[in-house]
Amino acid sequence: MGYAIAEAARAVSSQVVLVSGPTALTPPKGVEFVSVTTAEEMAKAVWRQFGCVDICIMAAAVCISDRRRRRTKKIKKGSFSGVLELEPTPDIPRGTGTIQEIQVLVGFAAETDDLEKNARQSCSARA
């Protein structure tokens, strides 16, 4: 969705920045592309660009938690304890909300129940 939004934005603006995690998609032509791998990198890239934009569209949710200990190799069945330790990742929309000046913020929320109520609570928690 973010790539399609960036392409549509490029049709009306000469300055579009797309911050993206790993994907097989090709960035639209004429769009400044920032490639990131982790949630932390995504947050830093968005916050670094934020002061230069009029509109910030966050089209996908970054995972809310991440493994505490990163592995460089596959965890073998025999060595897996059955427990994954997680830690929270940066809340990018909340971070942009705290430094927002005149920018328009647009975000998408994925909910499984009480869609409108939960979306409104999420927005009001960031305001």
Q: Are strands 17-20 and 55-58 parallel, antiparallel or unpaired?
A: unpaired
- Give the C-alpha distances (Å, rounded to integers) separating 3 from 18, 59, 84, 116, 127: 7, 9, 32, 26, 27
pTM score, two decimals?
0.76
Structural domains for the chain: 2-126 (3.40.50.10300)
Tell me the pLDDT band of 46, cut-offs 50, 70 and 90. Answer: very high
Residue 118's pLDDT is: 78
Query: How would residue 7 be classed by pLDDT, with cut points 50, 70 and 90?
Result: very high
In percent, how much of the chain has pLDDT > 90?
Answer: 35
Least confident of 18-22, 50-54, 63-67: 63-67
Q: Hey, what's the torsion of the CAs at 127, 121, 55, 52, to 10 degrees?
A: 50
